[in-house]
Amino acid sequence: MKKYILRSLICLCATVVVFGTGLVPAASSASSLVVAVDTPPRMMNPQGDDSDAGLSYMANFFDGLLQRKGPEGKLAPALAVRWEHPDKLSWKFYLRKGVKFSNGNPFTAADVKFTFERLSNPEVSEFLNTGKTIASIKIIGDYTVVIKTKVPIPWFANNMHQIFIMDKESTESRKPGDVMTRPIGTGAYKLVEWVKGSYIRMTANENYWEGAPSIKNIEVRPIKEPSTRFAALVSGQADIVTGVPVALYAKIKSNPKLQVISRPARRCIFLALGNKTGAPWADLRVRKAMYMAINEKEIIQKIMRGHASPSSQVPDPPTIGYNPDIHRLAYDPAMAKKLLKEAGYAKGFDITLTGPNDRYVQDAQIAEAVARYLAKVGIRVKLDVKPKAIFFPEVTGGKLDFYLIGWFDGTFDMGRTYFKIAHTRDHAHGYGGLNGAAYSNAELDRALEATADIINPEKRRQALMKLNKMAMVDQIVWIPLHYQEDLYAMQKGKGIHFTPRPDRWMVYKEISR
Amino acid sequence: MATYIAKRLIQGLVVLLGVSMICFIIFRYMGDPVLTMAGKYATFQEREEVRRALGLDKPTYVQYARFIWNAAHGNFGKSYISRVPALGLILERFPATFELATTATLLAFLMGVGLGVLVALKPRAWQNRLIMAGSLGGISMPTFLIGILLIMIFAVYAGVLPPFGRGQTVTIGFWRTGLLTVDGWKHLIMPAVTLATFQLAVLLRLTRAGMREVLTEDYIKTAWAKGLPPLKVIFKHALRNVLIPVVTVAGLQFGEVIAYSIVTETIFQWPGMGNLILTSIFESDQPVVVTYIMLAAFMIISINTIVDILYAILNPKIRYA
């Protein structure tokens, strides 16, 4: 009896093995694509994660009222065919007709209202800030929505590519856990299966309003370990990988089967410096000296291995407020020493440089280099690098003196950024929430507040450019370092057409083969 | 016996309480989940609102008491990061870790004992000296290095084994298994070897030491003198007596392998609990980490208790009073 059971068990196993091998997918074919990315999705709730890594997944299952297209991230219609801005507080969106959610429900203005109301619920949303600024949402007919904000928000429409519209009926009727794991949207792809820690499989939405996407089946494999991601590409198990570490760049470049794609990233890495009264670094001459003591060219060459470009300001060129007339102060340690002497700090001073060690490309190494450059002009830097989970709470705490951080604004509007990181910390208005060194400059604050209700795009650009110049040239609010570069790699000669986006999102309807 | 088991259970509960308390205290210094959950552009007030919604504005002891109360009712809280129940999130990953740990332990046990016996028989032969030197390497080489070396050799250069993941899986009820497909086995080889190396080396050295001692005993000499076949002498008479401590160590290590496969799982992107836990630590996802640590403590305590009880059954001379 025992033997019989054993024998049948072996038979069963053998059958399953034979059956199972039949299921093994062949290497990706013409209508499919395997992509290894560096960050796994947290959930399938499009409002629950405001990071670009999370939005990158959601952009495939859902649509916003607007979308960002092309290498410059130009704002384009999506679920709204056009929009108007009748007065300082109102935004009017005309919605696309005939669009359906993946469960068959038609897309109407009620879904837009539902989505925007959901934004202010902390249980499900990380877009509280957007949600809380909305005063009212009015529906006119089935396909027109007027959103009124509490205060003028010039960049409101610029943010509409990040707010993905959910289906009111199915989101309300399903259990919260189901909403968190199964997306129902209007997007170019539908989720087939999400096995946590393994893969996300999606299939094309043949009825997509923009036309069915070229690649029918996508498999996304999140692999956090960079060397393993590299191995996945080299062994042919992935067609495209994101987040190629600079250390492996040369290796991939020399491999004839692979191709590397690099594009300037929007993120600027810079040093924030407080200005509390009495501190040596409140003196403009000292700020200038610290700026001039840092050899950015060498940082880019040696630490970033050439994969970065020097920056003279925080916003990147496509951002409203970027000013081409701002130039970096030249690297000049002799001049820096002179300036320090003039300011009365010939013998230098002590300062602590804080920074993350798991957030940006080579972040800890950059901080070390900065410390060494400053030491050469006599400034004694105590280095304090730590994991981002500990570093960022310190930034919001506002008690740091000098720290390394990176920034870019998803709305392409510098105004929002400056309110967050340059304005004096102000609990009543909610300004300066990430001004971690408590930098405070009344003149800058006034100039910034004055831009808040400039709606005319050209006037706004001019005002922000002026403000930017004042911050970077006259006041040296920050010491800018460089813009990062995003590195991707893919299989060569497989006919894959892929142009990376400025926001690092992987939007598969834009890829073809 | 009954009193002994009851005593062990009470001890276990005390340990679990202690472990969870330490977790809570440590988490005060491990980052602030509110920052992520309120969003990048949240104002001070919006952050405070999220803090209140999560109950994180209360003092630690209130939070802790509430956690224990809920845990006693089987509710370990929702993950801050995925916003679904933490326990479910962890248990979903359990099959992957269990299969990896079981394979690794079996591999370590069979190879370790086999090689240990081999080495003990002819300790001075050069091949055996080589094995012993290798085992020293197995103990001292860090897991991540072994993993990365294996990937480099077998996936990147030779291209014979897949570098990451579980491969094709089959779902039977709630259990997603990779053991029923050829692809699944291919994916399992490298992580299992990586995870097994340390244990293998330990078990090898343990077996060898025991065998060398036993082989010099009188009853073995008698067995040889009686003219018994060598296989019978070695395996039936000698190894059997050596095996008791070896099995104990292997059993105890099994719990540790399940709980601490974090490094191996991360390198091979193995979708198990260790992988989840590392991510959760980086994201300050307190509910998931605390639940996991309690689960791991629970597993290790249960395995220890079972081993203790088995001891009494295997060797009637041992009594627990």
The complex's ipTM works out to 0.83
Q: Which of A20, A25, A180 is opposite residue B182, by nearest beta carbon?
A: A20
Q: Tell me, rounded to whole angstroms, the distance of Cα B28 from its chain centroid.
A: 27
B67-94 pLDDT, tens digit each: 889 988 888 889 998 999 999 999 999 9
Q: Does A414 touch chain B (CB under 8 A)?
A: no
Q: Quick one: pLDDT at residue A29?
A: 67
Per-residue confidence (pLDDT) for residue A93, from 0 to 100: 97
How many domains does one find in chain B?
A: 2
Do B144 and B242 share a structural domain?
Answer: yes
Across B168-192, average pLDDT: 91
CA distance B74 to B94: 18
Q: In this structure, how many other beta carbons lie within 10 angstroms of the beta carbon of residue A204?
A: 19
The answer to whether residue B82 sits within a structural domain is no
B189-228 residues touching A, CB cutoff 8 A = none
**Cβ atoms of residues A204 and A212 within 8 Å:** yes
The pLDDT tens digits of the residues spanning B205-228 come to 999 999 999 988 899 999 989 888
pLDDT at B297 exceeding the cut of 50: yes
Decide if B283 touches A, using CB distance below 8 A.
yes
| Residue A309 to residue A245: CA distance in whole angstroms | 16
B286-313 burial: b if 16+ Cβ within 10 Å, else e? bbbbbbbbbbbbbebbebbbebeeeeee
Residue A133 touches chain B, beta carbons under 8 Å: no
pLDDT mean over B278-298: 88
CA distance B262 to B269: 10
Same structural domain, B127 and B161: yes
How many Å lie between the alpha carbon of B243 and the closest alpha carbon of chain A? 26
Indicate the residue of A236, A389, A393 with minimum beta-carbon distance to B283: A389
The answer to whether A198 contacts B165, with C-beta atoms less than 8 Å apart, is yes
What letter would DSSP give residue A413? B
B134 in reach of chain A (CB within 8 A): no
**CA quadruple A22, A23, A24, A29: dihedral sign:** positive
Same domain, B94 and B67: no
CB atoms B31 and A389 under 8 Å:
yes
pLDDT score at B245: 83
Residues B88-140 pLDDT 10s: 999 999 999 999 999 999 999 999 999 999 999 888 889 999 999 989 888 88
Q: How far is CA A405 from the centre of its chain?
A: 14
CATH class label, A265-485:
alpha beta
Residue B55: count of CB within 10 angstroms of its CB: 12
Tell me the three state secondary structure of residue A431.
strand
Cα(A135)–Cα(A89) distance, integer angstroms: 9
Query: Quick check: helix, strand or coil at residue A221?
Result: strand
B115 with B259, same domain: the answer is: yes
Contacts of B40 in chain A (CB under 8 A): 50-51, 420, 434
CB within 8 Å: B167 and A24: yes
Q: Which residues is A314 bridged to in the sheet?
A: none
**Percent of the residues in chain B that have a pLDDT greater than 90, as a whole number:** 33
User: Is A194's Cβ below 8 Å from some Cβ in B?
Assistant: no
**Better-predicted residue by pLDDT, B191 or A247:** B191
Q: Are strands A74-77 and A199-204 parallel, antiparallel or unpaired?
A: unpaired
Q: How far apart are CA B263 and CA B292, in angstroms?
A: 16
**How far apart, in whole angstroms, are the C-alpha atoms of residue A59 and residue A64?**
8
In a domain, B40, yes or no: yes
Whole-angstrom distance, CA of residue A198 vs CA of residue B188: 14
Find the helix or strand (DSSP H, E) in which A36 lies. Answer: strand A32-37
* Phi and psi at residue A52, to the nearest 5°: -65, -30
B115 and B181 together in one domain: yes
**CATH number of the domain within which B185 lies:** 1.10.3720.10
User: Domain for residue B140, yes or no?
Assistant: yes
Query: Least CB-CB distance to B39: which of A23, A129, A227?
Result: A129
pLDDT at B207: 93
Q: What is the mean pLDDT of chain B?
A: 88
Final residue belonging to a domain, choices B72, B95, B112? B72
Interface with chain A: mutation pick from B26, B28, B40, highest number of A CBs within 10 Å: B40
Same domain, B37 and B118: no
Residues B62 and B125 in one domain: no
Q: Which residue has the tokens 């020399």?
A: A254
At residue A171's C-alpha, the angle toward residues A167 and A176, to 5°, is: 155
Token pair belonging to B96: 């992957």
- Pair (B139, B25) in one structural domain: no
CA distances from A99 to A143, B165, B241 (A): 11, 37, 74
Range(s) within chain A of domains with CATH label 3.10.105.10: 265-485
Assess A227–B contact: CB distance below 8 Å, yes or no.
yes
Residues near A438 by Cβ (< 8 Å), separated by ≥ 6?
A: A274, A276, A398, A399, A424, A425, A432
pLDDT at B320: 63
Distance (Å) of CA A265 to CA A67, A260, A308, B139, B155: 19, 15, 8, 44, 31
Residue range(s) defining the domain that contains residue B62: 2-72
Q: How far is B264 from chain A (nearest CA, A)?
A: 11
Domain boundary among B72, B97, B124: B72
**A440 Cα to chain B: minimum distance (Å):** 17
What pTM did the predictor assign? Answer: 0.86
Residue B320 lies in a domain: no
* Cβ contact B156–A234 (<8 Å): yes
**CATH T-level fold of A2-239+494-510:** D-Maltodextrin-Binding Protein; domain 2 (3.40.190)
Instruction: Assign A488 to helix, strand or coil.
Output: strand
Task: Please check whether residue B100 lies inside any domain of the structure.
Answer: yes
Q: Is residue B81 part of a domain?
A: no
How far apart CA A122 and CA B194 sit, in angstroms, is 43
Given CB atoms, is B268 within the 8 Å cutoff of chain A? yes
8 Å CB contact of A43 and B38: no
B319 is a domain residue: no
Is B32 in contact with A126 (Cβ distance < 8 A)?
no
Sequence-distant (≥ 6) Cβ neighbours of residue A36 within 8 angstroms: A221, A222, A223, A229, A232, A233, A237, A238, A240, A241, A242
- Same domain as B221, residue B114: yes
Asked if the Cβ–Cβ distance from A42 to B38 is below 8 Å, we say: no
Q: Residues B128, B182: one domain? A: yes
Q: How far apart are CA A436 and CA B181, in angstroms?
A: 53
Domain with CATH 3.40.190.10 in chain A: 2-239+494-510
The predicted model gives B308-312 an average pLDDT of 75
What count of CB pairs under 8 Å joins A to B?
173
CA gap B11, A311 in Å, rounded = 61
Q: Which of residues 26-55 of A touch B (CB under 8 A)?
A: 40, 42-43, 45, 48, 50-51
Identify the residue with better confidence: A279 or B259: A279
The DSSP letter of residue A205 is: -
The answer, for B47 touching chain A at a CB cutoff of 8 Å, is: yes
pLDDT of B179 > 50? The answer is: yes
Judge residue B139's burial from the number of C-beta atoms within 10 Å of its C-beta, 0-12 exposed, 13-18 middle, 19 or more buried.
middle
Put simply, whether B26 touches A (Cβ < 8 Å) is: no
Contact A48/B83, CB-based, under 8 Å? yes
Residue the block writes with tokens 């298994």: B177
- Distance (Å, rounded) from C-alpha A221 to C-alpha A229? 9
Contact A23 B181 (CB under 8 A): yes
Contact A393, B51 (CB under 8 A): no
B28 shares its domain with B135: no
Interchain contact B84–A (C-beta under 8 A): yes
> Domain ends where: B11, B37, B72?
B72
Residues B180 and B153 in one domain: yes
Question: Could you report the per-residue pLDDT of B7-62, keeping only the tens digit for each?
Answer: 888 888 898 889 888 888 887 777 788 888 888 888 888 888 899 888 888 888 89
In a domain, B80, yes or no: no
In a mutational test of the A interface, the residue from B43, B89, B268, B281 whose CB has the highest number of chain A CBs within 10 Å is: B43
The CA distance from A322 to A503, in Å, is 17
Alpha carbons B56 and B158: distance in angstroms, whole number: 52
Cα angle B215-B219-B221, degrees, rounded to a multiple of 5: 60
Please report the pLDDT score of residue A240 as a whole number.
Answer: 96
Contacts of residue A274, defined as CB under 8 A and 6 or more positions apart, other chains included, come to: A281, A282, A400, A401, A402, A437, A438, A439
Rounded Cα distance between B133 and A487, Å, is 43
Q: In the prediction, which pLDDT does A16 show? A: 41
Candidates B42, B152, B266; nearest CB to A224: B266
- Residue B177 touches chain A, beta carbons under 8 Å: no
Q: How many CB atoms lie within 10 A of CB B45?
A: 16
Half-sphere exposure of B33 (CA within 13 A, CB side): 26
Please say if the pLDDT value at position B304 is more than 50: yes
**Half-sphere exposure of residue A160: CA atoms within 13 angstroms, side-chain side:** 25
Model pLDDT, residue A25: 41
**Which of the residues in chain A have pLDDT under 70?**
1-29
